[in-house]
Amino acid sequence: MKLINHTLTLLSAILFVLISLWAILFYYQVLKQVKKTIDEGLADYKIVVIDKLKDDSLIVEQDTFEENNYLIKRVDEKFALQVRDTYRDTVVFSNLKNKTYQTRLLTTAFVASNGKYYEMKLISHEIDKSKLIQKIATSLFWLYLLLFASSILVNNFVLKKTWEPFYQLLNYLNKFRLDRGAIPEPTKTKIEEFRMLNDSVTNLVRTNVDIFNNQKQFIENVAHELQTPLAIGINKLELFAGDEDLSKDQIQKLGAIIDTLRRLSGLNKSLLLFSKIENRQYIQVEQVYFDDVFSKIIQDFSDYTEYQDIKIEYQKEDSWVFKMNKDLAVILVMNLVKNAIFHNQRGGEVLVKLCSSSFTIENTSKESVKLDDKLFERFARNSTDIGSTGLGLAIVRAIADVSGLKLFYSFNGKHVFEVSEKR
Amino acid sequence: MKILVIEDEPEMKELIRKFLQDEGYIVEEAGTFSSGLDKIVSYDYDCILLDIMLPDGNGLALLQKLKSIEKADSVIIISAKDSLDDKIKGLDLGADDYLTKPFHLAELNARIKSVIRRRRADNHQMLELENVKINIEERLALVNDGPVNLNRKEFDILVFLMMNKNRVTSKSAIAENIWGDYIDQANDFDFIYSQIKNLRKKLRNSDAMIDIDVVYGMGYKLIVK
């Protein structure tokens, strides 16, 4: 539920309860006022009637309210003297209207000009409570509607405006990616809570981006710093290997050490390449002709594939020209081709198919099952492969990510890697 | 032949010095930007090996300085940074080559030799060893002045090995030199062997006085018979 709707629901519920309570209160207030007014009218009427009844002949004792709105009954003096004017509700049956109705009744007593004492009852006109309730309910219903409508307006205009910094922040957080690492520049707001929220989020993001960058920087620095000692180690061993006094066995061992160091160095280079790709240091883009890239790389590997008796078939169904960094395109293709060749078997096959906006590389392999999705993760390698760094495909994915390419792996007896334009 | 090594890492410097002295060069060293600058200004060198990350300055600035005083010394940049930008900048500033650490000494050797050879503008100078002569520009290999028919890879291997004669040259150094960096992930470099085998056969058949020894577990060594 949206914040605006939430407040709206809450507000209307509260309004409803409040207005209902208020309606009851209002009804009783109005009723009280109405009765008071009627009673005053009755008091006036009493005076008029008593005045009229100075003429004794007009005094007629009656049992029911007929055309007159009053009843007169003779009472003894003692009774009459203790009568106080009392007002109360009563129900009267009207022959005229042939129904009972609610009314106010004034009971009083007076002494006529002939010295006799009379009790008199006067009634007012009809009080229609149900009509009153109906009227009040109707007007309050309209009031409620009006208030509801205004709260929608308030929500839409005032609240939306008030919460704008919040939505902006939310929008930013939605789009935020640690590796892109842009610090938000929150809009200035006068509301303290939002200012605090903005500050907190900015601080949080900044801290995280800093940590992330530091770690990235750390990997890069470590890789960098390792290059020189590695170079020294490899070169010293190479010099040492030239020593005439060494036995064949010793030279062979030296060779193995050098190979290990070279692998370490290769790993290092891959990590550096990673950092560079992820730091987007390959900015320049140009039209890359994948046909050219494939032709060259397949040619470059031809000696190796011939030696390993691996058959590379290149099917060019169409040419694909894509705008990206040329170096990255070469690394992408090379790593995929390399992957297809080095994880192949003697006498195996590699099939490269180039289409108008994609290419696929299929290869046979010793591993004849579908590999899991961790394939493209760093160091997700087959532990039996000492020679590989486990970074080749991770680099491929990193390149695809920064270049707007889609990478897809499937297995159909052969391992199939597909690279296509992201739409 | 005089070579100046400007490198701040003492061990690396020492290593290169020793290697180059073994190769018969006169080697001078500088460990900082300022001492490097002193030497560059004061003397002429056939080749300068320049590390671009120096403690007291950027090697590229040193290169700029060198060119601004119109010295014709050849420069090979050696850098731990495999940065395309630096490479382009360095070559634009007039460096002759760019080598990324770690490198094989054999590769460094070959690059120095090529640079010096190019600098002499002596394109017809032959790489010579006993009765074998090689004209690199024309891609000609001669034994006893008679041509030997080598394919592209065999020729490149022969040149590389002749530049590193009498040294054990590792298979990976050969692979990288001939096939390029990307082959370095290959689990074994045995595929080189078929090329070497053919090369040896051709050298023997033409009575060359040189041969290629297999140093098991390491690589190959070109020797004089």
Q: Tens digit of pLDDT for each residue in B169-186?
A: 888 888 888 887 666 655
Helix (H/G/I), strand (E/B), else coil: A382: coil
- Choose the closest CB to A227 out of B102, B105, B170: B102
User: Which among A236, A255, A300 is the nearest to B170, CB-wise?
Assistant: A255
Is pLDDT at A180 greater than 80 in this prediction?
Answer: no
Cβ-based neighbours of B146, under 8 Å, separated by 6 or more: B206
Please provide the DSSP assignment of A340-378 as one string.
Answer: HHHTS-TT-EEEEEE-SSEEEEEE--S--S---GGGGST
More confident residue, A381 or B1: B1
Reported residue count of chain A is: 423
Count CA atoms within 13 Å of residue A348 on its CB side: 22
Contact call for residues A320 and A358 (beta carbons, < 8 A) = yes
Helices (H), A95-191: 129-153, 160-162, 164-175
Contacts of B174 in chain A (CB under 8 A): none
If one compares B12 and A374, the residue with the highest pLDDT of the two is B12
Which residue in the set B16, B172, B218 is minimally distant from A241, CB to CB?
Answer: B218
Q: Inspect the interface and report whether the beta carbons of A256 and B217 lie closer than 8 Å.
A: yes
More confident residue, A420 or A386: A420
Residue of A nearest to B188 (CA): A387
Residues forming CATH 1.10.10.10 domain(s) in chain B: 127-224
- pLDDT for position B85: 73
User: Which of A163-167, A172-176, A216-220, A233-237 has maximum average pLDDT?
Assistant: A233-237
0.80 exceeded by the pTM? no
Phi, psi of B49 (to 5 degrees): -95, 120
pLDDT the model gives residue B185: 59
Residues of B in contact with A238 (CB under 8 A): 104-106, 168, 170, 173
**pLDDT category, A413, cuts 50, 70, 90?**
confident
Identify which has the larger pLDDT, A343 or A389.
A343
Q: Looking at domain A286-421, which of 3.40.190.10, 3.30.565.10, 3.20.20.150, 2.60.120.620 is its CATH number?
A: 3.30.565.10
Distance CA B103, CA A228 (A): 10
Nearest to A365 by CA among A408, A414, A309: A414
The model's pLDDT over A252-272, given as tens digits with 9 standing for 90+, comes to 898 889 888 888 888 888 888
How close is the nearest chain A Cα to the Cα of B12, in Å?
6
Asked if pLDDT for residue A177 goes beyond 60, the answer is yes
pLDDT at A256: 87
**Interchain pair B15, A239: CB under 8 A:** yes
Dihedral of the CA atoms A223, A229, A234, A236 (nearest 10)?
A: 170
Q: How far apart are CA A14 and CA A70, in angstroms?
A: 49
In this complex, is the C-beta atom of A241 within 8 Å of any C-beta atom belonging to chain B? yes
B73 contacts B40 by C-beta, under 8 angstroms? yes
| Chain A hits for B9, Cβ within 8 Å | 228, 232
**B127-224 belongs to CATH 1.10.10.10:** yes
Q: Rounded mean pLDDT of A242-258?
A: 87
Mutate one of A238, A239, A254 to test the B interface: name it (highest B CB count within 10 A): A238
Number of H helices, E strands in chain A: 11, 11
Query: For residue A107, what is the enclosing H or E element?
Result: strand A99-111
Q: Is A330 exposed, middle or buried (0-12, 13-18, 19+ CB in 10 A)?
A: middle
pLDDT given for residue B121 in this prediction: 62
Q: Does A262 touch chain B (CB under 8 A)?
A: yes
Tell me whether 0.85 is exceeded by the ipTM: no
**B105: nearest CB among A239, A327, A342:** A239
Q: How confident is the model at residue A405 (pLDDT cuts 50, 70, 90)?
A: very high
**CA distances (Å), A265 to each of A258, A343, A382, B10, B185, in order?**
10, 21, 20, 20, 11
**A:B CB pairs within 8 Å:** 119
Q: Cα torsion at A239, A242, A248, A252 (round to 10°)?
A: 30
Confidence of residue A358 (pLDDT cuts 50, 70, 90): very high
Predicted local distance difference test score (pLDDT) of residue A332? 93
The answer to whether the Cβ–Cβ distance between A231 and B101 falls below 8 Å is yes
CATH homologous superfamily, domain B2-119 = Response regulator (3.40.50.2300)
> CA torsion sign, A12 to A18 to A20 to A26?
negative
Give SS3 for B24: coil
pLDDT of residue B188: 63
- Name residue, tokens 């491929």: A396
CB distance from A258 to chain B under 8 Å? Answer: yes
Three-state SS letters, A3-44: HHHHHHHHHHHHHHHHHHHHHHHHHHHHHHHHHHHHHHHHHH
A321 pLDDT band, cuts 50/70/90, is very high
- Shortest CA distance from B19: residue in chain A: A239
Residue of A303, A335, A395 best to disrupt the B interface, most CBs of B under 10 A = A303
Average the pLDDT over each of A28-32, A97-101, A308-312 and give the range with the smallest value.
Answer: A97-101
Q: Does A309 touch chain B (CB under 8 A)?
A: no
With contacts defined as CB-CB under 8 Å, which chain A residues touch B82? 269, 272-273
Distance from CA of B204 to the nearest CA of A (A): 23
Q: Write down the pLDDT at residue A167.
A: 84
- Helix/strand/coil for A391: coil
The pLDDT of residue B196 is 92
d(CA B111, CA B102): 14
How close B169 gets to chain A, by Cα (Å)? Answer: 8
Inter-chain residue contact B218 with A234, CB threshold 8 Å: no
Domain(s) labelled CATH 3.30.565.10 in chain A stretch across 286-421
Per-residue model confidence (pLDDT) at position A225: 81
Which residue ranges does chain B devote to CATH 3.40.50.2300?
Answer: 2-119
Q: How close, in Å, is residue B121 to chain A by CA atoms?
A: 30
In the prediction, which pLDDT does A386 show? Answer: 56
**Count of Cβ atoms closer than 10 Å to residue B162 Cβ:** 19
Residues of chain B short of pLDDT 70, as ranges, are 82-83, 121-125, 181-188
Instruction: Count Cβ atoms below 10 Å from residue B161 Cβ, excluding itself.
Output: 26
Contact yes or no for B19 and A235 at CB 8 A: yes
User: Does the pLDDT value for residue A4 go beyond 80?
Assistant: no
When pLDDT is cut at 50, 70 and 90, the band that residue A67 belongs to is low
CATH architecture of the domain covering A163-281: Orthogonal Bundle (1.10)
The band of A27, judged by pLDDT with boundaries at 50, 70 and 90, is confident
How many angstroms from the chain centroid is the CA of residue A404? Answer: 27
Of A228, A297, A388, the CB nearest to B101: A228
Q: Which two tokens stand for residue B28?
A: 């001078």
Tell me the percentage of chain A whose pLDDT exceeds 70.
Answer: 94
pLDDT (tens digit, 9 = 90+) per residue, A269-283?
888 888 888 877 777
In chain A, which residues have their Cβ closer than 8 Å to the Cβ of B196? none
In the prediction, which pLDDT does B203 show? 92
CB A308 within 8 A of CB A344: yes
**B188 vs A contacts (CB less than 8 Å):** 387
Which residues of chain A form CATH 1.10.287? 163-281
Residue B94 Cα distances to A418, B49, B65, B108, angstroms: 42, 13, 11, 18
Question: Which residues in chain A are closer than 8 Å to B106, comparing Cβ atoms?
Answer: 238
pLDDT, tens only, A191-226: 888 888 888 888 888 888 888 888 877 877 887 788
- Give me chain A's average pLDDT, please: 84
* CB atoms inside a 10 Å sphere around CB B222: 23
The answer to whether the Cβ–Cβ distance between B185 and A388 falls below 8 Å is yes
CB–CB contact B9 A232 (8 Å): yes
